Amino acid sequence: MKALVFDGTLRFDPNHPDPQPGSGEVLVKVIQAGICATDLEIVKGYMDFCGVPGHEFVGTVVEGSAPLAGRRVVGEINCPCRRCDMCSRSLPNHCRNRTVLGIAGRDGAFAEYLSLPADNLHVLPDRVSDDQAVFIEPLAAAFQVTRQHAFSGNEKVAVLGPGRLGLLVAQVLAPRVGELHLFGRSLSKQDLARQLGLQIQRIDEATPRQVFDVAVDCTGHPEGLAVAQDLVRPRGTVILKSTFAGNIGPNLALTVINEITIIGSRCGPFAPAIEALEEGCVRVEPMISRRFAIQDGVEAFTLAQRPGSIKVLLEMERT
């Protein structure tokens, strides 16, 4: 099959081996997939991953499950063992032995085919388009914020980083909080933000500091935590959505002095993400920057890394 492969260097492989689904797994023919910030970090060494990257996808089941055969699906990316202590605590996303689609131990979605457990798949309603479906995995991650913090409807909230994830988080939180501020280092994405019903403010104009109840870091940069801590009030909450290659050395003095709660936030629930797209509560189509055929995937990554690029799609049957 055609695939984009990372083995220290990102390259296109026209004859990559097809995946072989295991017990309880299905074979999915990928329609299209989206490049996200995690993928960009993987090619910098994040998670020491080698193989086919990619985890945001929509596809059609072609083998392995009669009830799902021919159905259009998206898939949760964590594949748990169902036996460890985390699984027994109903925390399969934190399974000790999990593989993660396109991130850890399992080839991903930048290929013509992928395999996933049938239990990971969600059948799509007809009203959700292929373009919308590619955003379901990151939109689910945005909804995870609402599961980890009980928003009362009155909070003053800052979202840092008007990029791929930040624009989704801001759309999810806007109707659930009292006051939402979306901060960026520049206003270059202001037109896009306005199409989504949002307004970007420059982070260097965020005064006064230490007034927000919650700050959500979607910057994808190591300095995001420090900026978020500087924005929240004493006993405020910082929610971290950024992942990146390498380590950070945050100054935690402010965390202690202001008794700030820090929450790491990763994958989230697919059901509310699908519903939000079906009902039109979240808009994603304006976020699509460009489309590429899978054989042009290296060029697609180059574009996705450029400032101003939001969501770049890889289409498996495009020529």
- Write down the domain spans for the chain: 3-135+284-315, 139-264
Burial class (CB in 10 A: 0-12, 13-18, 19+), 140: buried
Q: Which of 94, 85, 139, 120 is nearest to 279 (CA)?
A: 139
pLDDT of residue 9: 98
pLDDT of residue 273: 99
How many distinct helices (H) and strands (E) make up the chain? 10, 18
Residue type, 245: A
pTM: 0.96
The answer to whether the CB of 268 falls within 8 A of the CB of 140 is yes
Query: Taking 90 as the threshold, does the pLDDT of residue 162 lie above it?
Result: yes
Instruction: Name the CATH architecture for the domain at 139-264.
Output: 3-Layer(aba) Sandwich (3.40)
Q: What average pLDDT score do residues 17-28 get?
A: 97
pLDDT digits (tens, 9 = 90+) for 81-119: 999 999 999 999 999 999 999 999 999 999 999 999 999
pLDDT for the residue 319: 62
pLDDT for 207: 76
Q: Which of 33, 254, 274, 9 is nearest to 136 (CA)?
A: 274
Q: What's the gap between Cα 30 and its chain centre?
A: 18
Q: How far is CA 278 from the centre of its chain?
A: 19
248 or 109: which leads in pLDDT: 109
Tell me the pLDDT band of 70, cut-offs 50, 70 and 90. very high
Let me know: does 153 contact 279? Beta carbons within 8 Å.
no
Type of residue numbered 258: N
Question: What pLDDT, on the 0 to 100 scale, is given for residue 206?
Answer: 78
Contacts of 24 (CB under 8 A, 6+ apart): 117, 118, 119
| pLDDT above 90 for 251 | no
Cα separation, 236 vs 258, whole angstroms: 8
Q: Which pLDDT belongs to residue 73? A: 99
Start-to-end C-alpha separation, the chain: 15
Positive or negative: CA dihedral 205, 211, 213, 217 = positive
Q: Which residues contact 116 (CB under 8 A, 6 or more apart)?
A: 25, 26, 28, 75, 79, 101
Which of 158, 160, 155, 147 lies closest to 177 in space, CA to CA?
155
CATH 3.90.180.10 fits 3-135+284-315, yes or no: yes
Residue pLDDT, tens place only, 32-56: 999 999 999 999 999 999 999 999 9
> Per-residue confidence at 243, pLDDT binned at 50, 70, 90?
confident
